[in-house]
Chains A and B, each alone.
Chain A
Amino acid sequence: MTQLDRQEWDVVVVGAGGAGLRAAIEAREQGMRTAVICKSLFGKAHTVMAEGGIAASMGNVNEGDNWQVHFRDTMRGGKFLNHWRMAELHAREAPQRVWELETWGALFDRTPDGRISQRNFGGHEYPRLAHVGDRTGLELIRTLQQKIVSLQQEDERELGAYDARLKVFQECTVTRVLKDENRVAGAFCYERESGRFFVLQAPSVVLATGGIGKSFKVTSNSWEYTGDGHALALLAGAPLINMEFVQFHPTGMVWPPSVKGILVTESVRGDGGVLRNSDGKRFMFDYIPDVFKEKYAQSEAEGDRWYEDPDHNRRPPELLPRDEVARAINAEVKAGRGSPHGGVFLDVSTRMPAEVIRRRLPSMHHQFKELADVDITAEAMEVGPTCHYVMGGVEVDPDTAAATGVPGLFAAGEVAGGMHGSNRLGGNSLSDLLVFGRRAGLYAAEYARSRTVRPTADPLQLDAAEAEALRPFSAEGPDAQHAGRPAENPYTLHQELQQSMNDLVGIIRRQGEMEEALERLADLRVRARRAGVEGHRQYNPGWHLAIDLRNMLLVSECVARAALERRESRGGHTRDDYPEMDRRWRRINLVCELADGGPDSPPQDPATGQIRLTRRETPPIRPDLLELFERDELAKYLAEEELAAEAAPSGPGAPAAGTTDDEETSR
């Protein structure tokens, strides 16, 4: 083995989107030497695609807003499966995180009195999303990027080198989190440009790698979203929770085929756009679920009045949480009332003057014009659901973002689980990145500072990591069993994986299909071990994909296994065979951990696989937070025992676990 480049850092942040950059800024401001490592160029992370805005209850447009209302909306959106403490911290701290961006140079759209403007969005009671047109993610990533540059300029003045205390390793991939006994020791990485391996040794590693959407065929996610952080955590021994909850954004482009899945921002509806079927009917009025009946308009006239007079009218049902709208669109298309290309119509052209559309939705106008020859100021868009976000992720301590069971490992943003429960509200992602990115950076720095002995990864671990990464170059079979068999094409394997997840573990799920998905995943795992590549290690996308396949297969199994287990419908998990929400499942988190043997043991029995699934009871919600809701509303979500405990003056207590032995009887 060649001499491996080893560097010493205090905090290593994996991922350079909103959460990773915010974590890095915090860790560096805490005085820790911080390395950021990302697969793309600096400033290209998927955060850049976020369109609508950052949810924060600043109350600039409606003074009635405050953190309690935001907390309430978030819990409702997640169907009360959210970790209440994360939802609380998020709602409390989001305004401060947004205002801070202004001090770093961000330029949000303004209200007439010069404050940050806020727009309406699905599930948010008041106009709450700070935004810049429909390119808010770009503003966020650029502001954080420029703040990092300004810290580097400080270091250059003080220490003579831009990279002295904060360095970005761009176009590099982490394949393993390294351990020293049970603690984090750093990250094993390769440089995409050269294929060279290197090691960043550090006591703290923050995972901020985003989501898993590239395991699905129709997705709004970029190639980077291969579940790397989810898989790195599993492989390091940390559990994932809530992996069955995958958000299908209701409005992705459906035509032409090459752009199928690309996001159409929810702002279109927030600003007045309406959904219609092929009969021209605003069908969302037929899909308001009971839990939301009192909160949404019952007629088009009332919904339309709400935009001007929100205090005396209820919001239109186009602004229901995303899971509800996605299911409704799915149902309309299935019933034969879809648009020519298998979606429904989203129309702003009859709702706003062309000039207003161009000003408020410039990138949507541009995107449809350039990619679909559609002028959204003159005609309706065709849209349909697209895989957008995973609510599940690394189980973390709400306050510190520390992963369970692996000291030194932290996670923030989409890769962390718990914050959004079973369904995330639009706008709550960018605020999540900032709130928990900062917390992860803060506590990762604190932890690194507290360690007196620096960790080291033993050479055997490094050898194993290198051998694993190089396997695709000798894919004709490392063992006698596979010798002589042709290598598998990683692109083909990826396409088959995407098709399987899309068809069998997609927006509507059935037991038999998910069982079939698990069998296909087992087959793909066996074949992925023989994924081979041509050429050499220098900037070789085939090789990179072959490595990423390991991660996609791991997280896909988590999704399928957890989805099969949860026999109810809730948020981003809809079962055709169990169509109702079941209160007894509210207290259950499904936990995924790496089964013994891990990804190196070729699975013989598809039913076993690589993932071990267990149930964990969710912590009881703090009484003062429960008091923010009407008891009638709580009764829709909470099990009887929880309601009884809430009514009892003795506080939260620890009621017996909501038994789920007979969940079938719940219909």
Chain B
Amino acid sequence: MSAQSDAYKAHFRVWRGDADGGGLEDFRVEVNDGEVVLDIIHRLQATQVPDLAVRWNCKAGKCGSCSAEINGRPRLMCMTRMSVFERDETVTVTPMRTFPVVRDLVTDVSFNYAKAREIPSFVPPPGLAPGEYRMQQEDVGRSQEFRKCIECFLCQDTCHVVRDHEENKTAFAGPRFLMRIAELDMHPLDAAPDTGLDRKRTAQENHGLGHCNITKCCTEVCPEHIRITDNALIPLKERSVDRKYDPLVWLGSKIRRRNRTD
């Protein structure tokens, strides 16, 4: 069928190496109709370089494992179709630049797991037993958008605050985890305020929200099309600013909170 007749040889350049260094290697490799970049990397493994290191799992854009940079752009290899390239175009695949290389296309993404641990968890509302939670769809919808995140870490990779600035990594959680704060902040039943935890304030003071100058790079690379900047980061910033600088808003929030706990 057409899969056979349409086969062609593509020119691939793949970064190979480890923490001590490495470089791009050239390959000629077969491409069939409908294939994605990850298929080609797998063909290289099976036929030319059996020890080529790559992370992957679902091959359907749902797990966020096969993140890499394709012709310099952060992408999921399983969702990048070969048909988006010209047949004579060289396809260059390199590991995510923001994280240290382990080997070949595999990077050390432990930065993200460390940041995840620094975000205070969901606080269940006291007095509500399991099964008694009531929430309206329109109220959960906002947080649900952020929970579509597959943790591919492409937004973390592309964010210029840390991309070439190792020094910012300590103070900056990155778009994915600032969005996690927004998600919890918008959760209709999160009881953090009752415990004295102001999530908006911690985003600013502990997780580096101030570093973000809303260039929307994160939104552009998100394979889930989550509007990270518009729906998570900007609202978080606006309210942080309100809290920080507007005494009336600050006072109002205190009064509201007192009423809530009473």
A residues apposed to B, CB below 8 Å: 40-44, 46, 48-49, 58, 95-96, 99-100, 102-105, 107-110, 113-115, 117, 132-133, 135, 137-139, 142, 146-147, 149-150, 152-153, 156, 162, 193, 222-224, 255-259, 262-263, 363, 366-367, 370-372, 489-492, 495, 533-536, 538-543
Contact = CB atoms under 8 A, between A and B. Distances in A.
B34 A256 contact: yes
Contacts of B21: none
Contact of A370 (B79, B103, B117, B121): B79
Q: Which among B47, B63, B104, B150 has the highest number of chain A CB atoms within 10 Å?
A: B63
Would you list the 3 A-B pairs with minimal beta carbon distance, nearest first? Answer: A256-B34, A535-B51, A105-B122
Interface residues of B, number: 59
A258 B117 contact: no
A99 B47 CA distance: 49
B36 interface: yes
B32 interface: yes
6 contacts: A40-B55, A46-B58, A110-B137, A110-B140, A262-B60, A541-B54
A146 B50 contact: no
A425 B55 CA distance: 31
Contacts of B120: 153
A132 B144 contact: yes
B144 to A, nearest CB: 5
Contacts of A113: 134
Contacts of B104: 539
Interface string B27-42: 0000011111001000
Given A95-B131, A258-B32, A43 B151 contact: yes
B128 to A, nearest CB: 8
Interface string B96-128: 000000111010010001001100111010001
A108 B117 CA distance: 23
Contacts of A42: 113
A541 B187 contact: no
B217 to A, nearest CB: 21
Interface of B: 3, 18, 32-36, 39, 45-47, 50-65, 79, 81, 102-104, 106, 109, 113, 116-117, 120-122, 124, 128, 130-131, 133-137, 140, 143-144, 147-148, 150-151, 184, 187, 190
Contacts of B3: 256-257
Contact of A258 (B34, B57, B124): B34
A542 B135 CA distance: 49
A255 B63 CA distance: 21
A114 B36 contact: no
B231 to A, nearest CB: 15
Q: Which among B55, B120, B131 has the highest number of chain A CB atoms within 10 Å?
A: B131
B109 A535 contact: no
A139 B145 CA distance: 11
Nearest to A107: B140
A258 B50 contact: no
Contact of A223 (B52, B57, B64): B57
A363 B62 contact: yes
Contact of B63 (A44, A262, A492): A44
A149 B116 contact: yes
Nearest to B38: A258
B156 to A, nearest CB: 14
A162 B113 CA distance: 12
B48 to A, nearest CB: 11
B63 A48 contact: yes
Nearest to B122: A105
B229 to A, nearest CB: 20
A146 B122 contact: yes
B144 A107 contact: yes
Nearest to A116: B133
A569 B46 CA distance: 37
Given A46-B57, A109-B144, 10 more contacts: A40-B63, A44-B65, A104-B122, A105-B124, A107-B135, A135-B62, A137-B62, A256-B33, A263-B60, A541-B50
Given A153-B121, A371-B36, A489 B60 contact: no
Contacts of A135: 62, 148
A262 B121 contact: no
A49 B79 contact: no
Contacts of A367: 60-61
Contacts of B117: 149, 152-153, 156, 162
A339 to B, nearest CB: 13
A347 B56 CA distance: 30
Contacts of A370: 61, 79, 81
Contacts of A102: 130, 133
Contacts of A538: 18, 53, 102-103
B62 A48 contact: yes
Nearest to B190: A105
Contacts of A95: 131
A538 B103 CA distance: 8
B58 A491 contact: no
B122 A490 contact: no
Nearest to B35: A258
Q: Which among B33, B60, B130, B133 has the highest number of chain A CB atoms within 10 Å?
A: B60
A95 B65 CA distance: 31
